[in-house]
Every structure is written in C-alpha cells, then in structure tokens.
Amino acid sequence: EFNSFHIIWKDVSNRIHKESLNPYSTTFKQGIQYVKDKLQMSAHFINGTDELIIFECKFDKCKPALLSNMNNPDISLHDIYKYLPHYPIIQVHWEIFETSMVPYKRTIYIQRNNLSKSVPIQNIVISSNEKPTFNPLLYECDLHKLKVIQDAVHSKVSRNYELRGLLYEMIKNVSHKNIKKQINYNEKNPNKLILNEKILTILNELKILYHDDIHKQMGYSLQLWHIC
C-alpha cells in the first residue's frame, strides 16, 4: 500500500512532520516541492516569514543517504527506494536546511522623507476666517507654524491630562526646585503643570518620534503618553 510509505522531516523548531506520499506516482522533485510548500504554509501562518532565502536538501544526511549528483530529479521515489528491505512499508528521513524571511511587500519603508525647510514667519499668510489646527508633535522645521497659532495651542495642550500626568511623575523626584517652579509644579495638582518645551526637552523628542514615517505607516496609533 502506497500510504505505508512516509517521509519524515524536522523543522527549525524541532517539530517532527510525517508525510504520506505515493512512491509510484511521485518524483523526488515533486516530493521536495511538497515539503517546501508545507514549510512555506506553516511559516506564513506562524510568523509571516514565507519567503524562502535558502532551501536545500542535505543529501548525505538523509537516511538512507541520497546521491548529491542525482542526474534525474524526475526519478520516482519508487525507483530510489525500491531496493530497501520491506519496501514500500518504510519510513525515510530527509534532511532539509531552510531559512525564510518576511516578504518585502509586507515590510515598512523606514527611510525618512526629506523634511521641508522652515518658512520665515513673515511670509506666512493665514486668513482671519481660517481656524488654525494644532498637531502637538511638530518637527523643528515647523516651529514657525507653532508661533503663528500659539494662542490656539495653549488651550488644546492643556487638555492633554495623560501626558501631563506622566511628566508629573517623571519630574516628581528628580527635578531641581527652580525647574519645578518654572513649570508650575504642584504636588497636589498635576494638571497645573506647564508643558514648556525649553525645559521639558523630551517634548521635542516626542515630536520627532510621533511624526516618524514608521508611526505614519502604523496610522498614528500611539498617543503622546505611549511614546513618552
């Protein structure tokens, strides 16, 4: 019975797999391709690394060993193993070396785009009817925008209770008294903390990380306090 013929192979996680093949109708090339497809399918569902970098059969380590210079890959499994005792009720071991990766089409492009140069503030014209919008994490080249909408900014930043609370905890035990005074540090009320970028320089780092192309690819999924 052909279903008594089995190929045994082990993956990189040392999990043993047992494949039942018909040695009369399956060639060695088809058998190798079958194992290759199974490996790719398994890697795809486990961790997405279904693009093979290396896939090689170690002929000398197979049991029984195979000739590395097999002239005819289309030879049937029957012709290879028919001389073994108890054939076809046998199990053979194939040694496969395989390395895979995530396909490039499913990776994120991490090279940053060229940032636009800062525009002099005197060259900026904003309509009196236009309501300025504020993104709390701007690049340094966008400093002119921050100056133009400074009045509208303060009220929106002050609502960022989570970020303010986190920074409150960070400076609670490490900042000098004069710094605490400049940012209106209040032990009983963290909401009165002033988010002064010149003192709390971590805010500038948050801007860079928030606007990074990788975070953009993620759909800006992280909030300010997450990044902090």
pLDDT digits (tens, 9 = 90+) for 68-96: 657 788 889 999 888 888 888 888 888 88
Measure the CA–CA gap between 151 and 156, rounded to whole angstroms.
Answer: 10
The pLDDT of residue 187 is above 60? yes
pLDDT of residue 117: 47
Are the CB atoms for 35 and 19 separated by under 8 Å?
yes
Measure the CA–CA gap between 113 and 129, rounded to whole angstroms.
Answer: 32
Q: Write the single-letter amino acid at 174.
A: V
Among residues 165, 177, 150, the alpha carbon closest in space to that of 228 is found at: 165
pLDDT of residue 162: 54
> Which residues, including other chains, have CB under 8 Å from residue 101's CB and lie 6 or more apart?
49, 51, 53
Q: Write the single-letter amino acid at 127.
A: S
Model confidence over 111-170: pLDDT tens digits? 555 544 444 444 444 444 555 555 555 555 555 555 555 544 443 444 455 555 555 555
| pTM for the full predicted model | 0.45
Which single residue is written with the structure tokens 């009369």?
A: 24
In CATH, the architecture of 2-104 is Roll (3.10)
> Which residues, including other chains, have CB under 8 Å from residue 202's CB and lie 6 or more apart?
167, 170, 228
Max CA separation in the chain (angstroms): 93
Measure the CA–CA gap between 106 and 109, rounded to whole angstroms.
Answer: 10
Residue ranges matching CATH 3.10.20 in the chain: 2-104
pLDDT of residue 123: 47
